[in-house]
Amino acid sequence: MKNLVILVSGSGTNLQRIIDTIDNGEISDARISMVVADRECYGLERAKKHNIENVLIPRGKNFSSELAETIPANTDLIVLAGFLSILKPEFCEKWNGKIINIHPALLPKFGGKGMWGHHVHNAVIEAKEKQSGATVHFVTSGIDEGEAILQKSFEITEDDTPETVAEKVHLIEYEIFPKAINKVLNNIPI
């Protein structure tokens, strides 16, 4: 049984999807051993509702060292599911190949510092992009630069707004995130 630690900052609908797909067997032979949040958020409440060990480490001076101490040594995969703090290079190196993130755009486009949530969708609409989508990728010290594991796109229509793009991206995330987690846990080549 593989141990997943999920890091969240927001509403945690992707966390919920991971919980549900572990329950229904889409993600096989895995459990969530802990949910870590960097702020009070609904993602933390979801963990509590499902009796998953949960830890709040508020952002600030000691965040990185506390996070490093909190992650259990037997963790097989650290999953960033709407997690907005930047991880230190030492942390990324220690867990190299064992941290993945979901990003709400088609990386390498619309990634990097400040590109999260609605900022991404606003930028996509502003740039009159024809497509958007979601990417699951390995986490390295370069923000949103690690190797892609799975990516899926959709066509943007003339009626789309940042809000409708966000909804469409979320649906794609719910589809590719469990698949990407399975892929990494079972060492299936990218």
Q: Which residues are catalytic?
A: 103
Neighbour-count burial of 180, counting CB atoms closer than 10 A to its CB (0-12 exposed, 13-18 middle, 19+ buried): buried
The answer to whether the beta carbons of residues 133 and 151 sit under 8 Å apart is yes
From the list 103, 137, 165, 181, which residue makes contact with ligand GAR (rule: CB under 6 A)? 103
Print the binding letters for residues 64-83 with ligand GAR: x by CB under 6 A, - otherwise.
-----------------xx-
The answer to whether the beta carbons of residues 33 and 23 sit under 8 Å apart is no
| Shortest separation between residue 170's beta carbon and ligand GAR, angstroms | 6
Q: How many residues bind ligand GAR (CB under 6 A)?
A: 17
User: How far apart are alpha carbons 176 and 102 in whole angstroms?
Assistant: 9
97 known ligand binder: no
| Shortest separation between residue 46's beta carbon and ligand GAR, angstroms | 9
Tell me how far CA of residue 170 lies from CA of 41, 58, 97, 121, 132, in angstroms. 18, 26, 24, 11, 11
101 known ligand binder: yes
Residues that bind ligand GAR (CB under 6 A): 10-14, 43, 81-82, 102-104, 116-117, 120, 169-170, 173
